[in-house]
Amino acid sequence: MPRFDRFLAKARATQREVYAVDPPALAPLDWVHYVVEHLHCAHVELAEAAQCLPLKQWRAGRLLGDPSDEQVEDAVDELVDALCHISNVLVALGVSDDVLNERYDRKVSYTAGRDGGYR
């Protein structure tokens, strides 16, 4: 079973049905604006996820690396937001679910071979 089962197909359908946008069919300048906007949004959401977690030594509160349940929930919400924006960019690039699965598996295999896994 693929890791991403119709993930990008669903993202494209959402863009069409909810926002009346078909990213791969946009005019060139509209496509550029769409991709740049979603890359920026993904970056912002990732930064917001980092803010949810106890990563700063100088911040008062919980110990580093010991997030509360609420902090984890908030970070997951922000990461899912980033994932939605990343999926929109992949759709705009014309990436299929088959290509996403193949590239993801290739990356995981390469990383495991290079790093030997996390220790």
CATH of the domain at 71: 1.10.287
Position 40 confidence tier, pLDDT thresholds 50, 70, 90: very high
pLDDT value for 5: 87
Higher pLDDT, 2 or 18: 18
Structural domains of the chain, count = 1
Residue 119 maps to a domain: no
Residue 1 maps to a domain: no
pLDDT value for 55: 82
CA 88, 92, 98, 101 torsion-angle sign? negative
Residue 80 maps to a domain: yes
pTM score? 0.85
Element (H, E) at 99: helix 97-115
pLDDT value for 3: 79
Residue 40 sits in which domain range?
7-114
Residue 31 maps to a domain: yes
Residue 72 maps to a domain: yes
Cα separation of 75 and 81, whole Å?
10
